[in-house]
Amino acid sequence: MIKDVEALILENRFISGKTYMLKLKVPEIASFVKPAHFVMIKPTLQDFYDPLLRRAFAIADVEDDTIVVYYDVYGKGTYAISQKKEGETINVLGPLGNRLFPEDYDNYIVVGGGIGYAGLSLFLKQLKKHNKRFVAIYGARKKEDLSMIKWNEENQIQPIYYTEDGSFGRKGLVTQDLKDIIKSNPNAPLIVCGPKGMMKAVAKIAKEENALCYLSLESRMACGIGICVGCVVKDVKNDTYVRVCYEGPVFEANEIEL
């Protein structure tokens, strides 16, 4: 059930690199959240309109009546959100998204890149809770961009880390050992979120290895509920377009064109 509410800010702090963590007390939304759901957050006060549009963020975690969001500061909207203080309120619309992660497998390969890992963390937490087997892979350009290391430690998630500069974990890309990992985990679908180039590379390897691959897409959105048709991707099977916010955000890799 989608709610449009004023959420109480419990935390809004810098983590590392350009990433912040926002914790919101919002029981009206938290009780309905499932992995892959996202929210739209209004960066401005109620009576101001600059920036005009809400910003979309994956729900990285749920703790009782709170939701947790990790976000990178890129422009005016995310900067405005980063300036909000504990004890203030912020407008939140959610939970959003209709097609979520598949939950009927016994084993998974979960691949996250940069801030995209925040789109997978709640799913990983659920897999661990239900004693499902999984291999988690978490990569970024440098250690500072691996903003959820502490979250992993707190939740006893042990991903294989990769950094392009070798500053943490294995040096290289998340794809460099992927074929071997797929071979070692037959019939395990890949669950992927991150930069477009990374997702395309992972999807290509999955296709070569005849492995199922599900992509949780990140897209700029204006409404988040399918009205504005501003977040479409090509549906190659049906030769049409689908909305990331409404028909997604999760799609099989072979269904769409990134």
Assigned domain for 251 exists: yes
Residues 41 and 131 both lie in one domain: no
In total, how many domains does the chain have? 2
129 has a pLDDT exceeding 80: yes
How many Å from the N-terminal Cα to the C-terminal Cα in the chain?
A: 29
Q: Which of 95, 130, 155 is the last residue of a domain?
A: 95
Whether 74 and 25 have beta carbons less than 8 Å apart is answered as no
CA distance 110 to 214: 10
Q: Give the tokens for residue 136.
A: 């988690």
Q: Kindly report, residue by residue over 85-127, the tens digit of the pLDDT.
A: 999 999 999 999 999 999 999 999 999 999 999 999 999 999 9
Q: Which of 46, 66, 95 is the last residue of a domain?
A: 95
* Burial (0-12, 13-18, 19+ Cβ within 10 Å), 21: buried
210: CB partners within 8 A, 6+ apart: none
**Domain residues for 218?**
107-257
Assigned domain for 101 exists: no
Residues 84 and 167 both lie in one domain: no
pLDDT in the model for residue 87:
97
**pTM of the entire structure?**
0.95
Q: Kindly report, residue by residue over 183-209, the tens digit of the pLDDT.
A: 999 999 999 999 999 999 999 999 999
Assigned domain for 102 exists: no
* Burial (0-12, 13-18, 19+ Cβ within 10 Å), 18: middle
- Reference 173, options 253, 108, 113, 258; nearest CA is 113
